[in-house]
Amino acid sequence: MALVGRKMEKLETVKAEIESTCSVKISLHSCDIREEDRVKETIADILVAHGKIDHLINNAGGQFPSPLNMISGKGFETVVRNNLTGGFLVAREVFNQHMMLQLGKKDMSITNIIADMWNGMPGMGHSGAARAGMLNFSETAANEWAPVRVNAVAPGFIASSGMDTYPEPMKQTIMQLDKTIPLQRLGLEAEVSGALVFLCSPAASFISGSCIRIDGAAPNARRIWPVGTGKANPAFNSFHLGGVPEVIQRRDAERASKKGN
């Protein structure tokens, strides 16, 4: 397993967590996916360390919240590079440096993480545009790079540590998000990982060019119908080392205190 991100200390933490659970060879690589030369070197380093890349999860991404009219050209470009160009560069290098030479010999896949950007992504329009682009890139690559399977996974609102990176006004919105979702709760990181493991497995060997939504039916909510019944289904919480984001702990504490009053 090769873990890639900009900050080595984050990667060290994840490595230690994985090693506390199972025995697997793990290499760590500091790389900003927006830097083309660094991406080329990183993929080459991974191939030296492991000799192959059977499955790529293109997960790196993120954005800053802003209404469209306040985003500068540089800011828009930064987010597009983080969520579209960077993922393309990584996928292209994995394909060119390894997968292209192994076509037909084994099952290989690329999965691109996008987002719930259907019908637009208000407050994060730069990211919505980039994620929509990533979906279209995945569809093209599924054709051009077959039999490598190329798919997208579109998480909706997932209770991840990433949520704690947002400023206070956005946190206020995050604390109300569960009410806008038919399943009446946020998703868990393990529920995204479940789909990723499936897509990397032989059970998904005829799935390519697809997008799996993991969003509790959020985009299906309609103004003419109440959202959900007030009841949530049980979550698949298989990450025993996973934590609850601070913003969600705060939400639950505030609700408990309101109930108590």
Residues that bind ligand LOHRUJSQ (CB under 6 A): 62-64, 66, 72, 74-75, 78-79, 82, 115, 123, 157, 160, 162, 165, 170, 173-174
Q: Which is nearer to ligand NDP, 141 or 248 (CB)?
A: 248
Q: How many residues sit close enough to ligand NDP to count as binding (CB under 6 A)?
A: 24
Could you tell which of ligand NDP, ligand LOHRUJSQ, none binds residue 7, using a CB distance below 5 to 8 A set by kind? Answer: ligand NDP
Could you tell which of ligand LOHRUJSQ, ligand NDP, none binds residue 117, using a CB distance below 5 to 8 A set by kind? Answer: none
- Looking at 37-45, 118-126, 160-168, 216-224, which segment touches ligand NDP (CB under 6 A)? 160-168
Restricted to residues 6-45, the positions that interact with ligand NDP (CB under 6 A) are 6-7, 10, 31-34
Q: What is the torsional sign of CA 85, 88, 92, 98?
A: positive
Burial of 75 (0-12, 13-18, 19+ CB in 10 A): middle
Structure token pair of residue 104: 């037909």
Contacting residue, 39, 55, 80, 86, with ligand NDP by CB under 6 A: 86
Q: What is the torsional sign of CA 194, 197, 26, 34?
A: negative
Q: Would you say 141 and 84 are in contact if contact means Cβ atoms under 8 Å apart? A: no
CB of 259 to ligand LOHRUJSQ, least distance (A): 24
Which helix (DSSP H) or strand (DSSP E) does residue 5 occupy?
Answer: strand 2-5
**Taking Cα atoms as reference points, which of 83, 81, 89, 91 lies closest to residue 62?**
83
Give φ, ψ of 19 to 5 degrees: -65, -25
Restricted to residues 171-230, the positions that interact with ligand NDP (CB under 6 A) are none
Could you tell which of ligand LOHRUJSQ, ligand NDP, none binds residue 33, using a CB distance below 5 to 8 A set by kind? Answer: ligand NDP
Rounded (10°) CA dihedral 139, 144, 146, 148: -70
HSE-up (13 A, CA, CB side) for residue 90: 31
Q: Is 82 in the site for ligand NDP (CB under 6 A)?
A: yes
Could you tell which of ligand LOHRUJSQ, ligand NDP, none binds residue 60, using a CB distance below 5 to 8 A set by kind? Answer: ligand NDP
Q: Is 113 in the site for ligand NDP (CB under 6 A)?
A: yes
What distance in Å separates the CA atoms of residue 50 and residue 150, rounded to the nearest whole number?
A: 21
Contacting residue, 27, 102, 161, 180, with ligand NDP by CB under 6 A: 161
Could you tell which of ligand LOHRUJSQ, ligand NDP, none binds residue 10, using a CB distance below 5 to 8 A set by kind? Answer: ligand NDP
Which helix (DSSP H) or strand (DSSP E) does residue 255 occupy?
Answer: helix 246-260
Could you tell which of ligand LOHRUJSQ, ligand NDP, none binds residue 148, using a CB distance below 5 to 8 A set by kind? Answer: none
DSSP of 112-171, one letter per residue? EE----TT--TTBHHHHHHHHHHHHHHHHHHHHTTTSEEEEEEE-SB--GGGGGS-HHHH
- Name the residues that contact ligand NDP, by CB under 6 A: 5-7, 10, 31-34, 59-62, 82, 86, 113, 115, 155, 157-158, 160-163, 165
